[in-house]
Structure 1
Amino acid sequence: MQRMGMVIGILPKHIDQYKALHAAVWPQVLARLREANVRNYTIFLREPENLLFGYWEYHGTDFAADMAQIAADPETQRWWTFCAPCQLPLASRAPGEHWAPMENVFHMD
């Protein structure tokens, strides 16, 4: 299992909309994440900095293939059309990234 953290900005005017979307995530989107070996997915909001911190645990063996399956899913792509306008990717992210991954520097069980 691999713990993964990521960060992205959120536009203040879309915070309520983003919260409402995530209060009722579409079942098909959740199923696709589970099929891609994603578990314990959590998103935290930090205001007033307007940052979203995402955390999940990856239980698979081919992360790139599993993420490609998520990205190819039509229902997930439709979900992203609602979420993406709320988000503000960090300027420091690498090319091709939307959420910026974070380095795990400490863990305590």
Structure 2
Amino acid sequence: MKKRAFKMQLFDGFVSEYKKRHDELWPELEQLLKETGIHEYSIFLDEETNALFGVMDVEDETLLDKLPEHPVMQKWWKYMGDIMESNPDNSPVSVGLKEMFYLK
């Protein structure tokens, strides 16, 4: 299992909406993420900057490369695009983070 971390940026004024949308996560998206081998997935918010910090355990990183092709993932990105920084393909602007310390 590999741990992956990344950051994204939420637009001002959309904290409640972001939380609501994730509290109501589509069952088909949850299933897709689990089928892709994603476990222990959390997203945290820095309330001072609206920066989002995600961390997840991944069984096979090569499976993540196929997520952008999946219609459910594309639909979710489009759905979220109005409240966070997004790329032209509607995927969130996401910056990978380097692990500096891990205590097991």
TM-score between both structures, scaled by the size of structure 1: 0.83
* TM-superposition CA deviations, 1:41-63 (whole Å, max 9, x none): 00001112111000000112xx2
Task: Point out 4+ residue stretches in structure 1 off by more than 2 angstroms.
Answer: none
Query: Are 1:82 and 2:79 an aligned pair?
Result: yes
Unmatched 5+ residue regions in structure 2? none
> What amino acid maps onto 1:38 in structure 2?
I
Q: Return the structure number with greater helix share.
A: 1
| Other-structure match for 1:21 | 21
Aligned partners of 2:77, 2:85: CA distance in 1, in Å?
13
Aligned partners of 1:15, 1:82: CA distance in 2, in Å?
15
Deviation at 1:97, TM superposition (A): 7.8
Aligned length: 100
Unmatched 5+ residue regions in structure 1? 90-95
| Other-structure match for 1:6 | 6
* TM-superposition CA deviations, 1:17-73 (whole Å, max 9, x none): 11110011101111111111111000001112111000000112xx23x12332111
